[in-house]
Structure formats: structure tokens, C-alpha cells
Amino acid sequence: MLELRPGDCFVVRTESLLARAINWGQALWSHDNRAEYNHAGIVVSADGTTFESLKRIGHYHLGQYAGSRILIVRYAEMTPERFWFGYGQVKRYDGRIYPFWRLPLHLVNLAKFIHWTFPVCSELMGRFLNAAGITPNTGWGTTPDDWADLWRELICNEARKVTVVCDGILTP
């Protein structure tokens, strides 16, 4: 059983055609020329409720990823106060449709410069972390692969700013 907390963040690999296309596009700009994860989200409750940008930006549940490869991390600096402030800032996107039109901007590496609309999944998580005061990165233009690579770096860092909650196949 996972011990989740509000403010935990995750990246996941799903197997749809769109997921494969996203990973292909991410790999074009990735420092290691690979992309393992195609989606990102925020855990908002210990019961696994999430806030994500899927077909609509809204609340979902980690259970939908049972059987998928997932990396869930916890920032040492994430306090309840920081969580609620960051969540309050991104909750304004609740109910918006997924901004598919932003995907081509990611493909040509312009998404961090052009962002007059609402965020894709990894950008939503980045906006949350920025508003919570966890990262100076605004989130715009980030991909699930960017976050996974950053977390792997931080996990190996002696400062231990990030700890792993789950790294593997999510079980039901």
C-alpha cells in the first residue's frame, strides 16, 4: 500500500498511440535522447486522488494507472501550507479541456516561450511546484521526461530534496 501525501508528484508511462507519439517527441529534445514517461500529475489526497491534465483538467485517481510504470516522488520542502497555496493556484484550470494545440509547440521546443493558454500535464505540475515555492521553474515548456530526469538527479544528490514514494509498476 502506498503512503501518499498531498503534494506528491508523479510521472507515468501509458501505452496509447498518443503516449508513444509524446515520448517520441520528448526524446527529440531530451539530454539523454530517451523518454520513458509520457504523463505527469499531482497527488492531492492520501487516497490517491490526483489533479491532472487529461481530456479535461481535473480530479482523477492513481488507480487508473494500475499496471503502468510510474515514478512518484515527494519533495522534502512540501509542507501542507505550500501544498494548499500551490494547489489553489492551479485549481483555476479545473474543468478546462486538454490543450492539444500546445503539443506541436513542445515538438518544436517553443512551449516555454508561447503559453497564453492553459497547461498540458507536466506544465500543470510545474505551475503547481512553482506556486508552492518548490522550484523557480515556471513549468511552461516542461515535459514528463524533464521532470523524471530532474528527479533522478535530485534523488542521487546528497541533499535529498526528493524521495521516492514508488518507482515501478503500480499495483491495484
Report pLDDT for 47. 97
Using DSSP, state whether 107 is helix, strand or coil: helix
Coil, strand or helix: which one is 100?
A: helix
Indicate whether this model's pTM tops 0.75.
yes
The tens place of each residue's pLDDT in the chain, 172 residues long, gives 789 999 999 999 888 877 676 666 666 666 777 777 889 999 999 999 999 999 999 999 999 999 999 999 999 999 999 999 999 999 999 999 998 888 778 778 888 888 878 899 999 999 999 999 999 989 998 889 989 988 988 877 766 789 999 999 999 8
pLDDT at position 25 is: 63
Residue 93: the pLDDT is 97
Provide the pLDDT for residue 153.
Answer: 82
Give me the pLDDT at residue 27, please.
61
Q: Going from the N-terminus, what domains does the chain have, and what CATH number goes with each?
A: 9-169 (3.90.1720)
pLDDT of residue 77: 95
What is the pLDDT at residue 21? Answer: 64
